Structure formats: structure tokens, C-alpha cells
Structure 1
Amino acid sequence: MARLNIIASAALAFTCAASTLPAAASDRITGHHFATRSEAMAPNAMAATSQPLATQVALDVMQEGGNAIDAVIAANAVLGLVEPTGNGIGGDLFAIVWDAESEKLYGLNASGRSPKSLSLEYFKENGYESIPPRGVLPLSVPGAVDGWFELHDRFGQLDMENVLQPAINYAESGFPVTEVIAYYMGRNAAVLADQPGFADVFMKDGDVPEKGERFKNPDLANTYKLLANEGRDAFYKGKIARTIDAFVEKHGGFLSYEDLAEHESTWVNPVSTNYRDYDLWELPPSTQGIAAQQILNILEQYDISSMGFDSPEYIHHFVEAKKLAFEDRAKYYSDPAFNDVPVEGLLDKGYARERAKLINPKKAGRSYEPGNPPTEGDTIYLTTADKDGNMVSLIQSNYRGMGSGVTPTGLGFVLQNRGELFALDANHRNVFEPGKRPFHTIIPAFVTKDGKPLMSYGVMGGATQPQMHAQILINMIDFSMNLQEAGDAPRILHTGSSQPTGSVMSDGGVVSLENGFSKNTRRELIKMGHTLQEAVGPYGGYQAIWKDHEQDVYIGASESRKDGHAAGY
């Protein structure tokens, strides 16, 4: 039986973890007393982001009278500056908000749509078999700024000038670039240096900044000042919109002033599934959030706890459940304004039981067909929680690190390349159409029990995300890990399932196991027909906040693989 209530008391979690985790993962310290760094704990407020400066700004904003919504926007603005390798206001945003006053969850889809003047025929006539990842063709409307103002208008407390001022200060005075960000800026520059405007902002001396170098972005500071003084219309109907329009047209693209001016975000109802008495909430398509729920619905049919964390049985069943969920993802997930997405059917428990029957417990599946559900009805992740009980789960991205590389003159940010995820197969649900939202990989998550908010969390990283959303909960529920251990434990990554662009898995894909799984487990998986491949770095970036209702404190956890930092007061 699941024992997630253990996590409400950190001390008890530490004592239980050693007896529930296998000794086989002995090359990591997971599973021993104080197995990883302690969870962050605080009585009033908590922030967990992927960069320490952003976490500190979030806390400062809440201490100055702002709430969790103000704090998450302020931190996101800082992250767009200090971590441009994963996010920025040229990208999209999704959020789940627990509003303490109404005691309800609210979902926001702040993603943009494709240019209305671009057509499928253009790609066909010019010989494209897929949409390129860089340049002006994969551009879609950036939705993040509208997302900020939607969140702020509905839930914020401080003036937007105060919310954006910390990011403005860092953009003007500079900040020291961390080792991780310097590394990823170098990797991005290797493929984006020749994109219009990129080098002017990010390679001012002919190269990207080195570790510890103080980096300034005065153009972004000026952009943030416009937003603070003139509001969201400065971006979508004012100077910024006209700058983007002229720059993109100059370089042969299609994203226009009209596309920006017509943009609006969408408030959506988060959807849930119950996994061993805990409700996991995700946003519905156009995101891939329900894939995590489909994985858990399938795995709920099995006694995962008895299999053991470092066991071929658990890893095999997890990978097969992921394959099944991702086949449905490839077929059904798309913009609901253009397609009838059978969300209720995909999350139906009976459907999950039927899908689970396809799993051979001894052999890896080479391919699966999408199901027929009942028809009723690099990225950053951050989370904040305040003294009044409000909690925000927010994720924001350029896609592919620094996006398209296209950096309009004088604005200080790159434009996203999310349009790359459209298919060019006219029969595919996610086919390119003018004014359509592409399939989206970025997903925030939230957990409740008995109607009470427990956990806001996310794991950045493309198709990694639903796999890790599921693994975090399995680690906590089935293997009794605490909030930090659940993120630090070695991860399972399967790649090669059918993609939203229309390509189909036919060879079973590839399983990558992070350091910490035993050699014997790896050998047994190979015997079962899995193809194992070493991979370094693509396992995502995790942040989480847990609300301990019994002690009335917040618990925070952050990613040990990157610059993650959780702190409170």
C-alpha cells in the first residue's frame, strides 16, 4: 500500500527509505539515511527554480508583499535573462495555480499559434519533408508574456513594475554566468551563431560568455521596461510587435504583426487521474501532460512496490507502459480547436486495463498500435508557494534550448521554434495549419489528496517530461522516497516511440538508464529484448514544493543535475 504520507514528515521519510530501496543502486547514495541533500523547509513560503538568483528573487518578492503568482513571474523574468538556454519571452508558457481563496486549481495554456500567412502547401512546394528546427520557418507566436499578464491580472498583488524590476536590474548590471549555462550557451552557439541577430546579443566579443563572466543584456532590460510601463500590448500590439514583424519579414519569414495582435491565452481546466489514492493533475492537449497520467493508469495494474526500484521487472513494465502511452500521444494529442481529442477516454481506467494486457512481462515490445479510447466527451520549470497557501506550477520554454536562434534587433531575446513540432502529413492530427497551436512538450504538474493541495512539481526536458512526472510519483508512492530523493534517484529514459510529427516506432526504441542501476538489472533487460544505450545529461531538470499540512510548513526540492535551488523563509 502506498505510504506517501511518510513524506509529510521528513525525519520519518529518512528512516523508512533505507529499508525500502534496494542496495543494488549502491554506486549512488540513494537509499541510505540522509541519502541525498536535505529537502529545503520553511514555515512561510518556498520557491524552487533552476537558478539560485531566480529563487532568491522569488523569495524577495514574497517578502515585499507579493504572492506566489507575483513571485513566479518575477523569477521567470530573471530566468529568461540568466538561463536563456532554456527559456525566455520569445517562448511559450503553461501554468497550474492553486488559489487558496477559492480552493481550486486553475490551468493556463499560454502557447502561441502558427503564422496565418504560412501554409502546408508552402512546405510541400519547397520540398520540405519536415519543418526545420532553426531560422524563421518554425516560428510561432510567443505566448509567455501574455501568460504573465493573464496570471497577474487574475491573481497578482504587486504592480508589474515591481515584479519585473529585479530582472531589469540584473539585465543592466550583469550577472555571473554559471558553469552549466556557459556550457549550454556554447553548444547552442555552435549551431545558432549564424542566425539573424543571435551573435549581437549572446556573442558580443565573438564568443559566448565563459563560466563566471559577468553578462549584461541591456536590450532585454529595455524590453522588460516597456512591459512594465505599457503592459502586454507593448509586446503584441506595440513597438515590440512591430520590431518582430519587420525583422522576420526581412529574413523571409511569415510571423507577422497581425499574428501577434490576435494572440490570446486560454484558461483551461486541469485534468486528473488517481494513482493509489493521490490525484495527479495535468493540463490537457495541446500539451503532452496526460501521457504521464496514462503511464500511471497502466502501471497501477501492477504491484510496483514489490518489484523493487532497481529491478528489471519494474523498469521493463515502466518502459512498456511508456511506449503504449506515447503511441496514443502520437495519434491523438493536438490542438483541441482543430481536433476532438478524446481526453476522458484516454484517461479511462478501463481503457488502461485493456492497454496493460498488451504488455508481455518477459519480453520488450517492438511496436504497439495506438489504442481506441472511449470517445466521450530544454525548458525551465519553477514553482512557488506563499504564506496564504497559494501555489504555482509553471513551465516555460523556447524549445531546443535557445529556440530558432532568430533574435530580433534591439529586443534581447530569441524567438522559439515550437512550430518544428507540426507534422507535414495532411492526414495527421498535428499537421501544420495556419493559426494552429503545435503539439506541446512542456507540462506543469500538481498533486492533491482529498481536495487539499500537496505538491506542485515538474521535470523539464522535451519528451522526457511525462516519463519523469510518472517516475517522481512512483518513487514517492511505491518506493517511499522523500521529495528530494525522488528527484535525485537515477532515472529511466525511453526514446524512439512514435512522434507527434508522424514518425512511427518499429524497433522497440532505446532505453537509457542513469548511473545507479545495477549491472545485473541492465543484463536482464537486454535478455528481455530491450536495447540499452548510455546517455549523459538528457534526464530532465526537477523542482518541487510539498505542503505539509500537519506541520504547516513547506518542503522544497531541486535538481541536483543542474543549477536547481530550493529555498524559503
Structure 2
Amino acid sequence: MRDFHFPGRSPVLATNGMCATSHPLAAKTAIDILERGGNAMDAAIAGAVLLGICEPQMTGIGGDCFVLYSPAGSDEVLALNGSGRAPAALDAATLRDAGETVVPLRSAHAVTIPTAIDAFCHLSDTLGQIGLEAVLAPAIRYADAGIPVAPRVAFDWANEAKSLQGKAREHFLLSGKAPKVGEVFRAPGQAEVLRRVAKDGRDAFYTGEIAEDMVAALNAAGGLHTVQDFTDARADASTPVAAPYKDLEVVEHPPNGQGATALLLLNILAQFDIAGMDPLGAERVHIEAEATKLAYDARNRFLADPEHTTRLDHMLALETARKLAALIDPKKAMAAAAPLSEAVHRDTIYITVVDRDGMAVSLIYSIFHGFGSGIASDKFGILLQNRGAGFTLEEGHPNELKGGKRPMHTIIPGMIREQGRVVMPFGVMGGAYQPCGHARFASNITDFGMDPQAAIDAPRAFSDNGILKVERGYSEAVRAKLADLGHKVQVPDTALGGAQAIRIGKDGVLEGGSDPRKDGCALGY
């Protein structure tokens, strides 16, 4: 139990349904959907699409998603890959010949085909209860009427506004400037897109005028996209990957997401007595940082489009984790592993919903960098992701850019089982930080007995490209000791990630936690 002398959040408790996400209007919308007879999938989609209006710098209908879900009355976890592919005509050799060494972040070449809308339509049709029109109605209403900009959103918007190009500046700036806290943002073009999708389904987005609007903007920016690339976009069912950590089983989305990185990291940490360490001490941060370097190095070499990932079993093998753990010196930091093979970002939303029947949804949805590519379609103002920056241009690498191929993604939804029972959908936003965040969350829960809210609130650290980022929640003494161990320590300008979780009690009580690093909350009824 938290100390009520200090600021903090209590867990949210309810029995009929629960949502935890990064904006209160989206959480309220999800609960409204549950109260009117929708299930957890209906509610998660409604909240996620609305988050694209609440937090347009983080996500939107021009982006991708990954989903884990457990059907009502089941402890099975299923996965849907709603990530998009590179346009068929694009190839790494084209960019190498042009003198590029990486995919340019804010170019049309970084835009993979947004596939979240196809995923949402598929999930609504196959698992939802109230229909797409009802699910999209809240986002349509808010996109037309507008949403007051929340404090964290305004902070991020101001930092990322420089990324907006051309027509995107008209759609996402107010009088040429990033909106301030409380100013109202409207997206009438996106409202019209959602109205058409509500009426005619995914084809309204991927064919005809809407697809042509996106393709025209991309072609004008030098992209090789075609309407056929959009017509061919499809979300695919996939099989989750999982690994035990102490008394928990952590379930992750398979490649091309980086969930396997979180599992490898947990397997490395399992070789140490983490529970015997001070949860806020330097020893734990050091071991976690060293394990992170090793796990991320494996990720950079092995993870890619599922059809090109061949070493997944090796990454998940306990023998691999044991060999890597043996490389860690408890008294000295190792040199950083090679730089990340994809561009680092922190811009993502996550939503989790559990309904009264026990369906649990873990959904993550992103446009990659702040405001994605910075390119928006002229008529409808659809901001397009830059997930293609997740490819490498290294010839022969599993994650090499190729037409029709999916890039390695940083976004990962999570789910936890305990003794075979699904007990907690969870997610930790924050780009490259996410596997480290998943591992730390699971460790906080089982090594230190924290409730979901306390596990989320606890300070974070992240070894990132030779820098150990240590939040202000740690003491100066801890930072000094880490520096003595050889780490290059910095306090990051922006807090690390943003987490959401819902614990499902055996007695039916739902316990929600939401990250104070974001504007959102957990709500139940």
C-alpha cells in the first residue's frame, strides 16, 4: 500500500469492466462502450481510434498496431499483427545508390502502408458486439467538435511540431503554432474518413478517394507508393511467444515486434537474485542495464519481418540467456553494444480493456516518431507513419528494406499469465525502451510484490546507445554509484515511457493502474 503522506495514485478497483490508457477521454469512451453493451474489443478500438485525435503526435489512422487478446472464458492469448509493409517498388538498393546509409526519417520512403484500420475493422467484425459504426462514433464526434489539448500532449506537440511538413502544418498547427494546454484541436478531415469507414468498412480507407489522397501526398514527396499497395494491406493473425519469469508467464507479440527482446531480457535477469536487491538501488539498475545491452544487441541482429526472422528460437532459449548473463560483470559496465538498427523514438499509445465476461485486450498503436513522417494527405489530413525508418539498409541483414516487407517494430503489447490463468494485460510505451519496461514491470510485480500502480509509478532507468538514462526518481547517491561502475549517466529530459495495466482477480475484481508520466488514467464501473 502506498504512503498516503506523499502524492501518488491508488489503484482503481471495479468489477464490471476496466480501461487504462494515456488520455482520460479515451478511457471514459471505452467505459461508455462497455456500459452500452460492447465488449472489451469494441471498447479498446473505440478508445484507440479516439487517442489518434487526443494525442495526434503519438498515433493515428495513418499508423500501425499490434494486439494481444484473450477471449471471454479462455486463458488462451491470441495475436493480430496490424503492421504495414513497404511499398512494392521500394528497395534498400535504391536508397543506397542515392547515397543514404539509413532510411531518412521524415521522407516518403519511411512511410509503410498504415494497417491499423484494417486490423480494427477485422477485429470489430470478428470479435466485436456492437458494430463498427457505434465503435467509431465517439472519435467522429470528438474529431468534429474538437478536444482540449492536455498538458503532456501540449509538451510533446511543441517538441515535435518542427517535424510537420507542407499540408500537415495546416492540419496539425493552430495559426502556425503548436496548440497550448486547453486550446481545442479539431480534425474534420479525419472525422469524414472515419464516417466512411464506419459505413463501408476497410475498403473505404484502402481504395478510392481516401487511398488516392494518401498516395498523391506520398508521390508528391518522392514516394513510390501506389493505390495497389494500399488495396493489398492486410492484418494477419500470429502466434504469441512467451517465457516464464519466476511465478509469472510473460506473453508477447511475435516478430516483427520486439517482444522477444523482453523475453530474452527476463531470461537473463532470471540468472540473478534480483529479488534480493534494493528495488531502487544501483545494483539492480546496473544488472538490468547490462542485460539490456545484451538483449538489444541480439534484437538488432535477429528480429525482422516474421518471414525473415530465423533465429527466434535461439533468442528465446534459456541456454542463450545463461551464456549472455555470464558476460555481465556485477562490478563494471561493459561497452555499449552496436547502435540500434532502427531509429529510436518514444511516440506510441497503449490501451488495455477488460470486460465483465473476462475478455482482455492489450493494444498498442503508433505512428512511430513524433508526428510520424510529418507528411499528411492534402484533403483528409491523414498523418502518415514513418515505420519504414525501422528498416536497415545493410545488405543481407534480416531487417533490410525490401518492397512488400514489414520492418522491425518497437511497439509491443504484453499479457501476463499466472498458473495458466490470464491475470494481467499490460503495456509500456516508449519506443526502444519498451522491452526494458516490460521486464522491469514484471520484475516489480513478482520480485518486489508491487501492485500494478506501484509497479508503474516506480522510477526507471534505460541503457540507450552508450548512455544510462536514470529518471529523477532515483537518488543522487544511486547515480553516483552507477557512474563509479563505468556508466555514462544522464537524467533524461523526458520521463521514460508510459505504462498501463489491469490485474484480473480470481474473485472478479479488476485492479487498474495508469502511468502518471502521461495524462491518462484507469477507469472502471
1:287 equivalenced with 2:257 (yes/no): yes
- Of 468, 481, 497, the match for 1:524: 481
Alignment of 1:12-411 (within 5 A): 14=1, 36-192=8-164, 195-337=165-307, 339-367=308-336, 378-411=347-380
The aligned residue for residue 343 of structure 2 is none
Q: Letter of the aligned partner of 1:288 in structure 2?
A: Q
Normalised by the length of structure 1, the TM-score is: 0.88
Q: Could you say what secondary structure the match of 1:200 adopts? A: helix
Q: Which runs of 5+ in 2 are unaligned?
A: 340-346
For residues 291-325 of structure 1, the C-alpha deviation after alignment (integer angstroms, 9 at most, x for no partner) is: 11111101111111111112222111111111110
Q: Letter of the aligned partner of 1:483 in structure 2?
A: P
Whole-Å Cα distance in 1 between the matches of residues 284 and 153 of structure 2? 34
1:343 Cα offset (Å) = 1.8
Whole-Å Cα distance in 2 between the matches of residues 311 and 102 of structure 1? 39
Q: Letter of the aligned partner of 1:107 in structure 2?
A: A
Whole-Å Cα distance in 2 between the matches of residues 567 and 191 of structure 1? 33
Whole-Å Cα distance in 2 between the matches of residues 439 and 459 of structure 1? 17
1:244 Cα offset (Å) = 1.3
Q: Could you say what secondary structure the match of 2:101 adopts? A: coil
Number of aligned residue pairs: 518
Moved more, 403-412 or 382-391: 403-412
Whole-Å Cα distance in 1 between the matches of residues 426 and 317 of structure 2? 24
Q: Letter of the aligned partner of 1:519 in structure 2?
A: E
For residues 413-442 of structure 1, the C-alpha deviation after alignment (integer angstroms, 9 at most, x for no partner) is: 200001112111103221111111011000
For residues 484-510 of structure 1, the C-alpha deviation after alignment (integer angstroms, 9 at most, x for no partner) is: 1111111011101xxxxxxxxxxxx11
Q: Work out the percentage of aligned pairs sharing the same amino acid.
A: 41
Whole-Å Cα distance in 1 between the matches of residues 296 and 408 of structure 2? 13
* Paired residues of 2:53 and 2:147 also in contact (CA < 8 A): no
* Paired residues of 2:125 and 2:131 also in contact (CA < 8 A): no
For residues 104-141 of structure 1, the C-alpha deviation after alignment (integer angstroms, 9 at most, x for no partner) is: 21101100000111122221221112111113121110
Whole-Å Cα distance in 2 between the matches of residues 31 and 364 of structure 1? 34
Whole-Å Cα distance in 2 between the matches of residues 427 and 544 of structure 1? 39
Whole-Å Cα distance in 2 between the matches of residues 204 and 255 of structure 1? 30
Cα separation, partners in 2 of 1:352 and 1:369, compared to 1, 3 Å = farther
The aligned residue for residue 513 of structure 1 is 470
Alignment of 1:413-432 (within 5 A): 413-432=382-401
1:346 Cα offset (Å) = 1.2
* Paired residues of 1:136 and 1:253 also in contact (CA < 8 A): yes
Whole-Å Cα distance in 2 between the matches of residues 413 and 237 of structure 1? 14
The aligned residue for residue 463 of structure 2 is 494
* Paired residues of 1:244 and 1:256 also in contact (CA < 8 A): no
Q: Letter of the aligned partner of 1:205 in structure 2?
A: S
Moved more, 134-143 or 361-370: 361-370
Whole-Å Cα distance in 2 between the matches of residues 483 and 323 of structure 1? 26
1:213 Cα offset (Å) = 1.3
RMSD: 1.6
Q: Letter of the aligned partner of 2:253 in structure 1?
A: L
1:35 Cα offset (Å) = 7.4
Whole-Å Cα distance in 2 between the matches of residues 313 and 292 of structure 1? 20
Whole-Å Cα distance in 2 between the matches of residues 518 and 189 of structure 1? 33
Q: Could you say what secondary structure the match of 1:104 adopts? A: coil
Whole-Å Cα distance in 2 between the matches of residues 150 and 273 of structure 1? 28
* Paired residues of 1:40 and 1:557 also in contact (CA < 8 A): yes
Whole-Å Cα distance in 1 between the matches of residues 286 and 404 of structure 2? 40
Cα separation, partners in 2 of 1:250 and 1:284, compared to 1, 3 Å = same
* Paired residues of 1:35 and 1:485 also in contact (CA < 8 A): no
For residues 416-471 of structure 1, the C-alpha deviation after alignment (integer angstroms, 9 at most, x for no partner) is: 00111211110322111111101100000000112211001101111010111111
Cα separation, partners in 2 of 1:36 and 1:179, compared to 1, 3 Å = closer
Whole-Å Cα distance in 1 between the matches of residues 230 and 502 of structure 2? 34
Whole-Å Cα distance in 1 between the matches of residues 464 and 386 of structure 2? 21
* Paired residues of 2:255 and 2:309 also in contact (CA < 8 A): no
For residues 209-240 of structure 1, the C-alpha deviation after alignment (integer angstroms, 9 at most, x for no partner) is: 22111222111110100100010011112321
Which portions of structure 1, spanning 4 or more consecutive aligned residues, are displaced by more than 4 angstroms? 30-35, 367-370
* Paired residues of 2:217 and 2:375 also in contact (CA < 8 A): no
Cα separation, partners in 2 of 1:333 and 1:340, compared to 1, 3 Å = closer
Q: Could you say what secondary structure the match of 2:327 adopts? A: coil
1:181 Cα offset (Å) = 1.3
Whole-Å Cα distance in 2 between the matches of residues 480 and 261 of structure 1? 48
Whole-Å Cα distance in 1 between the matches of residues 399 and 4 of structure 2? 46
Whole-Å Cα distance in 1 between the matches of residues 431 and 37 of structure 2? 35
1:449 equivalenced with 2:418 (yes/no): yes
Q: Letter of the aligned partner of 1:297 in structure 2?
A: N
1:251 Cα offset (Å) = 2.7
Whole-Å Cα distance in 2 between the matches of residues 257 and 204 of structure 1? 31
Whole-Å Cα distance in 2 between the matches of residues 244 and 523 of structure 1? 51
Whole-Å Cα distance in 2 between the matches of residues 32 and 295 of structure 1? 34
Whole-Å Cα distance in 1 between the matches of residues 468 and 3 of structure 2? 23
Q: Could you say what secondary structure the match of 1:235 adopts? A: helix
1:31 Cα offset (Å) = 6.8
1:79 Cα offset (Å) = 0.5
1:250 Cα offset (Å) = 2.5
Whole-Å Cα distance in 2 between the matches of residues 531 and 187 of structure 1? 25
Cα separation, partners in 2 of 1:153 and 1:349, compared to 1, 3 Å = same
Whole-Å Cα distance in 2 between the matches of residues 530 and 245 of structure 1? 46
Whole-Å Cα distance in 1 between the matches of residues 135 and 157 of structure 2? 27
* Paired residues of 1:558 and 1:565 also in contact (CA < 8 A): yes
Moved more, 312-321 or 183-192: 183-192
* Paired residues of 2:362 and 2:425 also in contact (CA < 8 A): yes
Whole-Å Cα distance in 2 between the matches of residues 114 and 444 of structure 1? 22
1:34 Cα offset (Å) = 7.8
Moved more, 89-98 or 305-314: 305-314
Cα separation, partners in 2 of 1:511 and 1:134, compared to 1, 3 Å = same
* Paired residues of 2:428 and 2:434 also in contact (CA < 8 A): yes
Q: Could you say what secondary structure the match of 1:542 adopts? A: strand
1:32 Cα offset (Å) = 7.4
